[in-house]
């Protein structure tokens, strides 16, 4: 067998070994019986894939880094949920599927048939088995992201507007909190009404998720104005936090929904910065027109 094919077989063998161990480990920590069965089924498939590549390679290919990777994926599971963790893992396997398809032409007979079955297994994992996981946070993710995104854009707009009116960081922070609480109630109410028309979603949970996400974002973004006395510095710190928050929830959402992270992140960031730019000049205009600029 050509050296190039052997090298690829070794690479795929290592990857499938790690995947089988990771799925089995995550399954062993899963309390929900239905999810555990799904994970155990995927782990069994991945073990079969590993044995195929091991046979093709001609020797074992177990990796030493698997223990640290197990801990990493357990951390992801605890922090972000089972669906995100598996989507994150499957993103790596999508690249492997493309490589497997290219290698089909290099194999013949039974080996080619087995590889075709492996490709089908990997696609089923993504399209059916992982999609069938019923996780509460995923069902309500749209409400959480809505609350975070709206809060970041709106409250930074409020802060930017007051940057054009006053030099008081305390006044700006309080204004952001007052507007934020009012907007959170409004957003939660809208989420409640929206969820009443969506099957499988609790209006109360939807409202709670949206409201809590909104209030959390508002509190974090207002905090610099209560800790820092220089207006511009507080504003820049708050904007920086907002960008980090956008990056976090955009990456989470794009991973779950299989969207382009870079595009989603740039669009959200530009919307937030554009809103801040417009409201700053509007606040400056009002402050000058009413003669209150610098008084507060």
- pLDDT at residue 57 tops 60: yes
What is the predicted pLDDT for the residue at 131?
Answer: 64
What is the predicted pLDDT for the residue at 67?
Answer: 83
The pLDDT tens digits of the residues spanning 42-52 come to 899 889 999 99
What is the predicted pLDDT for the residue at 126?
Answer: 61
Look at the block and give the residue holding tokens 């590549």.
Answer: 53
Residue 85's contacts (CB-CB under 8 Å, 6 or more residues apart) are: 26, 73, 76, 77
What is the predicted pLDDT for the residue at 44?
Answer: 92
Name the H helices within 133-197.
136-139, 141-163, 169-195
What is the predicted pLDDT for the residue at 128?
Answer: 63
What is the predicted pLDDT for the residue at 111?
Answer: 87
Q: Rounded mean pLDDT of 67-79?
A: 87
Q: Write the DSSP symbol of residue 104.
A: G
How far is 289 from 260, CA to CA, in rounded Å?
A: 44
What is the predicted pLDDT for the residue at 33?
Answer: 86
The count of residues in the chain is 296
What is the predicted pLDDT for the residue at 282?
Answer: 92
Verdict on whether the full-model pTM lies above 0.85 = no
- pLDDT at residue 65 tops 80: no
What is the predicted pLDDT for the residue at 1?
Answer: 52
Q: Rounded mean pLDDT of 206-214?
A: 92
Q: Rounded mean pLDDT of 22-31?
A: 89
What is the predicted pLDDT for the residue at 130?
Answer: 66
Structure tokens at 65: 């880094």
- pLDDT at residue 80 tops 90: no
With pLDDT > 90 as the criterion, what percentage of the chain qualifies? Answer: 40
The pLDDT tens digits of the residues spanning 112-148 come to 899 888 888 877 766 566 666 666 667 778 788 888 9
How far is 157 from 140, CA to CA, in rounded Å?
A: 26
Name the H helices within the chain.
3-29, 33-57, 66-80, 82-103, 109-124, 136-139, 141-163, 169-195, 203-227, 231-257, 261-289
Q: Name the more confident of 291 and 246.
A: 246
């Amino acid at each position: 067998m050509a050296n190039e094919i052997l090298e690829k077989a070794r690479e795929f063998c290592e990857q499938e070994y790690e995947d089988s161990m990771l799925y089995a480990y995550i399954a062993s920590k899963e309390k929900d019986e239905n999810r555990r069965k799904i994970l155990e089924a995927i782990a069994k498939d991945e073990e079969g894939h590993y044995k195929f590549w091991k046979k093709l390679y001609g020797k074992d290919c177990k990796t030493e880094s698997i223990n640290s990777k197990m801990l990493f994926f357990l951390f992801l599971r605890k922090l972000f949920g089972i669906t995100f963790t598996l989507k994150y893992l499957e993103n790596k396997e999508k690249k492997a599927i493309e490589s497997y398809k290219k290698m089909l032409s290099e194999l013949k007979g039974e080996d080619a048939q087995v590889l075709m079955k492996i490709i089908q297994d990997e696609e089923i994992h993504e399209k059916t088995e992982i999609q069938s996981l019923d996780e509460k946070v995923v069902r309500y993710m749209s409400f959480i992201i809505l609350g975070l995104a709206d809060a970041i854009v709106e409250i930074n707009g409020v802060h930017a507007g007051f940057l054009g009116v006053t030099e008081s960081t305390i006044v700006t922070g309080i204004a952001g909190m007052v507007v934020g609480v009012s907007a959170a109630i409004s957003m939660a109410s809208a989420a409640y009404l929206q969820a009443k028309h969506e099957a499988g979603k609790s209006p109360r949970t939807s409202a709670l998720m949206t409201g809590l996400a909104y209030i959390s974002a508002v509190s974090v973004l207002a905090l610099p104005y209560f800790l820092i006395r220089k207006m511009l510095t507080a504003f820049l710190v708050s904007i920086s936090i907002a960008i980090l928050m956008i990056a976090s929830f955009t990456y989470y959402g794009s991973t779950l929904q299989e969207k382009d992270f870079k595009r989603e992140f740039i669009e959200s960031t530009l919307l937030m910065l554009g809103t801040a730019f417009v409201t700053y000049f509007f606040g400056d205009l009002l402050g000058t027109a009413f003669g209150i600029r610098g008084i507060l």
